[in-house]
Amino acid sequence: MEDQWRIAAHDPEWKNLFSDLASKLRNSLGNLAVRIDHVGSTSVFGLDAKPVIDIQISISHYDDVLSYRHKIEYVGFVLREENPDKTKRYFREIPETRRTHIHVRQAGSFSEQLTLLFRDYLRMHPADCLRYAQEKHRLMALFKHERPKYVEGKGPIVWDIMQKAHLWSQEVGWRPGISDM
């Protein structure tokens, strides 16, 4: 298994990895999933990233965990019950498989929309995409062995980009496009 706790140059194969997994999730979930989207840094062409695929699944009945939990687990993921983020259900890969993060969110929620806006803004703004990549490289060099500090260190640039993304969304009338799967 490759070392995924690093920042790698963008790999076009990430899109294919997402498509393969998303297709399996779509087949298992059917219409329970309103959207299945490639999110996170691997979803932005040209953006250096940790080589971990992030998938956001938008569900109409988020609180009805039993309606979707086993369908996601069937594809090879495990619900992480200890997740402190109450805006999502978090699933991870089974041991000895490629690291993947599944974020299940309420369709139309603020957290679902914020994730899509951040991704879409970076896809349209290469200068901020590059600035974000440079900061991730800097933080990884500083905190290679301190994951929480790396994650915490990204906060200022993420919020700076989110502020720009918010203004951009107002200018262009941003709405999420069609689902990736």
Amino acid at 166: H
- What is the reported pLDDT for 85? 94
Distance CA 2, CA 6 (A): 10
Q: What pLDDT score was predicted for residue 3?
A: 67
Give residue 2's pLDDT.
57
What does the radius of gyration of the chain's CA atoms come to, in whole angstroms?
16
Considering the entire predicted model, what is its pTM? Answer: 0.95
Q: How far apart are CA 115 and CA 77, in angstroms?
A: 21
- Token pair in block for residue 131: 């600035």
Is beta strand 100-106 parallel, antiparallel or unpaired with respect to 53-59?
parallel
Dihedral angle sign, alpha carbons of residues 19, 181, 45, 18: negative
Per-residue pLDDT tens listing for the chain (181 residues)? 456 789 999 999 999 999 999 999 999 999 999 999 999 999 999 999 999 999 999 999 999 999 999 999 999 999 999 999 999 999 999 998 999 999 999 999 999 999 999 999 999 999 999 999 999 999 999 999 999 999 999 999 999 999 999 999 999 999 999 999 9
What CATH class is the domain 13-172?
Answer: alpha beta
pLDDT at 66: 96
